[in-house]
Structure 1
Amino acid sequence: MATGAAAQSEASSQSAAAPEADSVEASQGEIVVTASKREQKLRDVPSAITVLGGDTLVNLGVQSVRDYATLTPGLTVQDSASPGYGKIFIRGLTTGGLQQSATTVYYIDDVPFTASSANGGGAFIAPDPELTDIARIEVLKGPQGTLYGASSLGGVIRLVSNSPDPSGFSGSARAEITAIDGGGVGYSASATLNVPLVTDRLALRATGFSREAPGYVDNVGTGTNNVNRSRHQGGRLALRWTPTDRLSVDVVGQLQDIDTRGPALETDVAGTLTPLDGARRYSNFFDAPTRVRYRLASVTGRYNTDLGQIIATGAYLESKLQTEVDVTSTYSAFFPVFASAGYVYPANTGTAVISTIPAVKKTGELRFVSRRLGGIEFVAGGFYTHERIASPTDIVARDKATNAQLPEPLGTIISIPVNDTYEEVSTFGNLTVYLADNLDVTGGLRFAHSTEDFNTSYGGVYYTAFLGGPVKLPPVHSSHDQLTYLATLRWRATPTLSFFARAASGYRPGGPQVAAIVPPGAQTRINPDTVWNYEVGFKGDFLDRKLSLEASVYHIDWNNIQLYTIFNSSQLLANAGKAKVDGFEAQMAARPTKTLTVTANLGYTNSRLTKVDPGVTAYIGAVVGDSIPQTPRWTASATLDQLVPLGGDLQGQVGATFRYQSDRFTSFPGSVTDPNLRLPGRTTFDLRAGLSYHTYQLQFRAENVTNRRGIANYTPGVPSFSYLMRPRSFTVSVSTTF
């Protein structure tokens, strides 16, 4: 449901100093979030937020970022056909397939996951941590630059985990079997244990999971059926120590491996959506696996004072995305040229590009969250991040029969090792002044200083044949200072209704110019691109909290957009455009009876370019007035859940989910290298039914029951490729809590 599940526990009526709440719901319909880095009722936060509670995620069968994006107005995933691989953006802030760095930041608890660097590959990573033992997901819409810093142009996604509870032993277990119509069968199993080691002082919470998502696409080139099946394995350990009533320390370690044998592709006739090899089929000489690795360790300390709470967090994160793509049709044309230079390739040679984005991110944050001190409250702190990317891209020659790489020097056609280091130090603060008990204003400011160092080289047969040998570029360096701002006005007309106006800025870091050839007069440093978001909205509970409504209207100015351009015949990244985005978002949750819950949301996004340099038009075909690619203008979803008492402790449940996404375009209309194609809109329906008895639950789900063919993304060429969404599937799950 768009704004949370049924309410369960009580929360304070005022903002509390403690900024972390383990439950998304408070009693009597109150939903508590920590989006402003302090605990607040959702309706009192002067910003657009969508919250999905942990029970809601389980009930709806949400397992990935792609699942909850369709339930969140304004949130879009540009799919790349494998888990953990793609682009995430909010409110249309993307530049399409050539975008290099992220415009939306992903947080796991208090730890930023997304790479900040302009050359850190953040745009290609769609973080996909397993949604097991999750308290809630908070999606913050609009720039969050003052509290969350760099790259939060469109907003922030926060995944909040359940914390250890030292008051008692508890646990849960869940198992599922999923079958896809015309595809494979998969399973999932997970369990959580909460163990108090010292009553009320020390507790351990352990979660483990193993899931195999079934495939539904065949690679006719290798004869592999259901090639896009993926395996997800990992776990989380969390330790909470509360030595005194004022001090608590959380130590967390978690890891996850995702291995996908092949992408969810369909080969199409060039420039169309017509299958070339048959529905749900493609033809590669190998299966093109994707590997994702997450490793996270963090320590968070909280100390309560009479004036507020001091929070210190330190974290170490390793992430890795490795993809393999068949590019034989592109590079086989060079084989005759290589032969003239003495590099003769066998007739049965194929080529593959292996891209790896391994990142190491170390972060630290220290902040003070005040209590209500008379007529004011505030958050103030400092943040540090050090990010290192060692990202090789290799185009290799392989024997088509065995998929083995040819021996050197033939084996490596192109090798481009990239090393990038990004460092940032920032300080931030938000101050709220209460003009009256029901009227307040907030001002926020963040200053950030960042540096980036980049170096790379080019090697392999291609450069030896054409340039006489490897090419090593000199290292480049850049530094930037950036200010971001926030101003809000909030009026609580009644205890259950509030109105807000918000103006906020955000930025995406720039960096050094990393092109192989930088002609005179070109930008040697890419400046940050920035946004200003202006928004008004309201949030309220009505009819004794049986009805909750939230809506906002916004306008965004996006300046100095980082776009690829042509400058004196060289392809460069530059600050080369402007855009505007107008839209609105609305969410509703109704609880007309104790057994019936209905939710709905609607989002509208109108994003378009308002200024484009001529070089951008020459390179990617963009002109003033073009819509920003991959952005659906309309999104909508709705859920309905009815509980059915069956006598005694036996209870039934039936429910349905509706999702809609309007059509969108893959690129700019004038693009030559990436021809524009309209992807059709998609409407899907899910059905579910279940039984519960005491602490045991049984559920059956049918997803995409009409079996609508959904296309998530598209790659042009000869042939072309459609990236497919999951067809109709059936799931049976059993679970228990204790």
Structure 2
Amino acid sequence: MKFTKLHCAVLTAIAASSSLSAEEVTKKAKSAIEVIEVTATKRAESIQEVPVTVTAITGDSLEKLGVANFDEYVEFLPSVSFQGTGPGQNEIIMRGAATNQTNISVSSVQALQPSVAFYLDEQPVSMQGRNLDVYATDVERVEVLPGPQGTLFGASSQSGTVRLITNKPTHDGFAAGFDTSISSTKGGDMSNSVEAYFNMSLSDDIAVRVAAYNDHAGGWIDNILNVPGEGGYIGSAVVVDRISAGWGKLADPENTPIVTPKNDHLVEENFNTTNYAGARFGLSYLINDEWELLVQHTQQSLDTEGVFAYDPNLEGEESTNRFQPENNNDDFGLTTWTLEGRLEQLDIVYTGGYLDRDINSTIDYTGYTNGGLFATYYLCTYSAAPEAQECLDPTKYYKEETSASRITHELRANTSAENRWRVTAGIFYDSQELSTVGQFNIANTDLPLFTNLQRTLPGNEGINSDGGPFSSEVSFINDVTHTIDQIAVFGQYEYDLTDTVTASFGARWYQIDDIYKGSTSTVDVSGRLRAFGDGSDAALTEFFGADEAAAIQAAIASGQLETSLLDDNGVLTVDDTIIKASIDWKVTEDVMVFASYSEGFRPPVTNRVGGGSATSQEGAFEGFRIPVYSTTDSLDNIEFGIKSSLFDQTLRFNATAYYSEISDLQTSRFDPTNISFLVFTDNVGDAEIRGIDGDFTWAATDNLMISGAFSWIDTELTSVNDELVGIAPPVGSRLPFTAEFSGNLQANYYYPIKGDMSGYINGSISYTGDRLTGMTMNANVVEDASHLIYGTGSGLSIENEANVYSGVNYQDRNGNTYKGGRYVADSYILANLSFGVTNDEWKAELFIDNLTDEHAILNIDTQQFTPKVVTNRPRTIGFRFSYDFY
């Protein structure tokens, strides 16, 4: 699976806080390990002296390590995991703080805010469901800050922050360089990349820097011919009728004729290709001796085709059946500016940025009719006489056009670092707007019902009223604009209690306005929220009708529905203050211990059909209504850490133990059987997380550097909402997507060849433990659907966590119930090896990634009711060459 170098940088940074080049090792020998300066506290400090958990790695070290793609370095993820389905469609997870994210097809409409913030230099660029996928070229360093960082970095820094720091223009004269690679993947196509940069001083005061890149990653997943009865996709419309008594129930589902989808025209080997192309331009202007202006612009295009997961129901680990052409085009332009200088005794920084992003996607949605309450309704002539009932072609698609913009401003001041007391204080403003139109072809428009129904959709009013053929394939539309405005004031105070003990306290006050406008097909979301915000009998009755308004008022009065955060314009406003406190003790010159308490949060999420009554009104769902919005979920964290540089700076060892509590855990929910055929978000309970992170770097000899990292994480649900009993994992279960234990080792051996030339050998091995997938115990239901559709099971591991699903929730028409369990992404071991020659100017390298050709299970996607396995790239052998001009 091909990901950007950003992912590689982020994940490798977790594993090791530094590494040395060949020249540094051979010249410095065992003298010292490189010390990296970071800005994790918004002032420059040595990574070993900043009293927070932070890992970082320089751009030069990333290049020396041969970072090439995500799956090759997924082994360097001790405290980090991810969920996603391909480039531009992933969420980073830190320290196990994870729940279900929304299906990518509605992530722009209904997704949770990310729990890990991502920054490009000073600009936050996170986005729900689709974090900005920046190609990391010409990088100065990557900083990774596990644990809540909300006081300095704000919303969505709930469980951590990742900062990609780029190289800036320098005033030292001319420099340039390039890096190129070519590689071959077992069973796949060739890949190649080229990167280049140059830096030039145009005058004593002005310098420019330009970096450009183009990366093509060949595919290895095959879209094979669908052959029903021989392990291929048979059909889907009978599945829901076997599981529940939904709309459009068939008289004889076992014998109802089904049209099998065809994909003859889309059969292709290695069809999952990825292309990154872009450039970054920077200009530095020295205004005077104390003030400097930096302006940068980054432009990037990310284009993918195909999918990045195989279907375990088919033969092999590189095959899938797709019935629609799929692509994802993701373009962005980011302009940033930073003015910094000194005013009296204060260091002043004003920084801002403007992000413009456009996403156009087409997704095969055939699998949507594999399950759910309305599957037969969408496809079958269930209203006909029993002998005339049939199910039509299930081939479906989803198309998305999303435009997002974000502008931020931050003004902050720092007192002198030489003072016994130090203050960082600032004000932050952020305005995000996301407009999206998602068009779903999910209902077969040959059915007379949908010929008539679709006349009501916008633009279709002119369709012939005699029930003639429907003129459009689109049967469902999301058309919304989501605006999030935030203002915050933050500060941090540090005081040296003694020469060796320092205490600090930080706080952030924030206010967030969430404005959600638009419609979901014929549902007026804007009017719905205004009615809830007004809250009067008249407003609710006008929108919902008298009977429904009375029921809603009763739900609000009982506390089942929360609406107090909405005003009468439907704007959701939340404000709060979070804090962080720490104390550190420099035991010796080379050893520091610290303790801290910190808070993080994710803001509320508005639901499209909030207040709607659950489809099922039995058992735990009696009286249940969809939340109008999910409220803020918060994470409180306590940690104790040690940072040490030992044996004359030849061994660095850092470790942190932490305990976190998550309150009002937000998650995405899709329960068409019991509640609604639309995805919504909810606060589902509480959780606890305990863990230990550790990493080391050891200059073992004059020529050998050994480093490694490990993470042990214990997550536990401590409470679950009543209506989720038997659906969500029970109290005491693990949170998804994170292994209990992960660890890695890498060794870099350098040796002199002749003159200034050095040779080197790099090797690494890593272990990632079992991970559970999702927050719903639906694996056995999905597995049953796989048997019905493909005639075979997936063969994936399942951890059963409950004897049966209860009541109507997962009981089929024959009275059969299903065990409650989740799929398990099994543990794996990966190994990499590289050989090279380098001097001060150039480097040539042969590399073998995934040496043993391990097919690791990185993620299991069940968004379309049958499991798809997101996997790593097979064994890849390649050559890499770089040259720098000075």
Q: Given the alignment of the two structures, is residue 241 of structure 1 paired with residue 285 of structure 2, yes or no? A: yes
**Are 2:378 and 2:442, in contact at CA under 8 Å, matched by a contact in 1?**
no
Q: Higher mean Cα deviation, 186-195 or 407-416?
A: 407-416
Question: What CA deviation, in whole Å up to 9, does each residue of 1:281-319 have, x standing for no partner?
Answer: 111123311222221001100012342310001100123
Match of 1:259 in 2: 303
Give how far 1:143 is off.
0.1
Match of 2:735 in 1: 628
Distance in 1 separating the partners of 2:207 and 2:861: 49
- Residues 472, 434 of structure 1: alpha-carbon distance in 2 compared, 3 angstrom cutoff: closer
Code of the residue aligned with 2:115 in structure 1: it is T
Code of the residue aligned with 1:737 in structure 2: it is D
Q: Higher mean Cα deviation, 630-639 or 330-339?
A: 330-339
**Are 2:22 and 2:760, in contact at CA under 8 Å, matched by a contact in 1?**
no
Q: Given the alignment of the two structures, is residue 557 of structure 1 paired with residue 661 of structure 2, yes or no? A: yes
Q: Secondary structure at the match of 2:754?
A: coil
Q: Given the alignment of the two structures, is residue 173 of structure 1 paired with residue 186 of structure 2, yes or no? A: no
**Are 1:303 and 1:311, in contact at CA under 8 Å, matched by a contact in 2?**
yes
- Residues 168, 481 of structure 1: alpha-carbon distance in 2 compared, 3 angstrom cutoff: same
Distance in 1 separating the partners of 2:858 and 2:338: 38
Q: Given the alignment of the two structures, is residue 426 of structure 1 paired with residue 488 of structure 2, yes or no? A: yes
Q: Secondary structure at the match of 1:474?
A: helix
Match of 2:787 in 1: none
Q: Given the alignment of the two structures, is residue 484 of structure 1 paired with residue 578 of structure 2, yes or no? A: yes
Q: Higher mean Cα deviation, 222-231 or 518-527?
A: 518-527
Q: Given the alignment of the two structures, is residue 353 of structure 1 paired with residue 447 of structure 2, yes or no? A: no
1:510-525 equivalence runs, <5 A? 510-515=604-609, 517-519=611-613, 523-525=627-629
- Residues 165, 338 of structure 1: alpha-carbon distance in 2 compared, 3 angstrom cutoff: farther
Normalising by structure 2, we get a TM-score of 0.74
**Are 1:236 and 1:255, in contact at CA under 8 Å, matched by a contact in 2?**
yes
Match of 1:297 among 327, 335, 338: 335
Match of 1:363 in 2: 408
Q: Secondary structure at the match of 1:708?
A: coil
Q: Secondary structure at the match of 2:395?
A: strand
Match of 2:879 among 715, 732, 737: 732
Match of 2:838 in 1: 692
Q: Higher mean Cα deviation, 484-493 or 573-582?
A: 573-582
Match of 1:639 in 2: 746
Distance in 1 separating the partners of 2:22 and 2:422: 28
Distance in 1 separating the partners of 2:40 and 2:268: 45
1:653-668 equivalence runs, <5 A? 653-668=760-775
Distance in 1 separating the partners of 2:356 and 2:282: 18
Q: Secondary structure at the match of 1:534?
A: strand
Q: Secondary structure at the match of 2:43?
A: coil
**Are 1:517 and 1:570, in contact at CA under 8 Å, matched by a contact in 2?**
no
Match of 2:685 in 1: 577
Give how far 1:65 is off.
5.8
**Are 1:268 and 1:719, in contact at CA under 8 Å, matched by a contact in 2?**
no
Distance in 2 separating the partners of 1:129 and 1:43: 28
Q: Given the alignment of the two structures, is residue 83 of structure 1 paired with residue 87 of structure 2, yes or no? A: yes
Match of 1:701 in 2: 847
Code of the residue aligned with 1:327 in structure 2: it is Y
Q: Given the alignment of the two structures, is residue 3 of structure 1 paired with residue 47 of structure 2, yes or no? A: no
- Residues 397, 609 of structure 1: alpha-carbon distance in 2 compared, 3 angstrom cutoff: closer
Distance in 2 separating the partners of 1:375 and 1:66: 46
- Residues 423, 150 of structure 1: alpha-carbon distance in 2 compared, 3 angstrom cutoff: same
Cα RMSD after superposing both structures: 2.9
Q: Higher mean Cα deviation, 138-147 or 554-563?
A: 554-563
Give how far 1:648 is off.
1.0
Share of identical aligned residues, percent?
24
Q: Which is helix-richer, 1 or 2?
A: 2
Distance in 2 separating the partners of 1:156 and 1:364: 18
Match of 1:52 in 2: 57
Match of 1:278 in 2: 316
Match of 1:453 in 2: 515
Distance in 1 separating the partners of 2:777 and 2:310: 25
Distance in 1 separating the partners of 2:865 and 2:45: 53
1:155-174 equivalence runs, <5 A? 155-174=160-179
Give how far 1:477 is off.
2.0
Distance in 2 separating the partners of 1:490 and 1:46: 6
Q: Secondary structure at the match of 1:56?
A: helix
Match of 2:114 among 79, 102, 105: 102
Match of 1:16 in 2: none
Match of 1:546 among 650, 668, 681: 650
Normalising by structure 1, we get a TM-score of 0.88
Match of 2:200 among 185, 195, 204: 195
How many residue pairs align between the two structures? 692
Give how far 1:153 is off.
1.0
Give how far 1:594 is off.
3.6
Q: Higher mean Cα deviation, 276-285 or 605-614?
A: 276-285
- Residues 719, 568 of structure 1: alpha-carbon distance in 2 compared, 3 angstrom cutoff: closer
1:28-427 equivalence runs, <5 A? 29-63=34-68, 70-80=75-85, 82-98=86-102, 100-115=112-127, 122=128, 124-199=129-204, 201-220=205-224, 221=263, 222-269=266-313, 276-331=314-369, 333-336=376-379, 350-372=395-417, 374-396=419-441, 409-427=471-489
Q: Given the alignment of the two structures, is residue 593 of structure 1 paired with residue 701 of structure 2, yes or no? A: yes
Q: Secondary structure at the match of 1:412?
A: coil
Give how far 1:339 is off.
9.6
Q: Higher mean Cα deviation, 565-574 or 282-291?
A: 565-574
Q: Given the alignment of the two structures, is residue 494 of structure 1 paired with residue 588 of structure 2, yes or no? A: yes
Q: Secondary structure at the match of 1:350?
A: coil
Rg larger for:
2
Distance in 2 separating the partners of 1:524 and 1:506: 23
Give how far 1:587 is off.
0.5
Distance in 2 separating the partners of 1:700 and 1:158: 30
Distance in 2 separating the partners of 1:65 and 1:654: 21
Which structure is richer in relative contact order (CA contacts within 8 A, separation 6 or more)?
2
Give how far 1:375 is off.
1.8
Unaligned runs of 5+ in 1: 11-25, 116-121, 270-275, 400-405, 464-468
Give how far 1:527 is off.
2.0
- Residues 398, 219 of structure 1: alpha-carbon distance in 2 compared, 3 angstrom cutoff: farther
**Are 2:517 and 2:525, in contact at CA under 8 Å, matched by a contact in 1?**
no
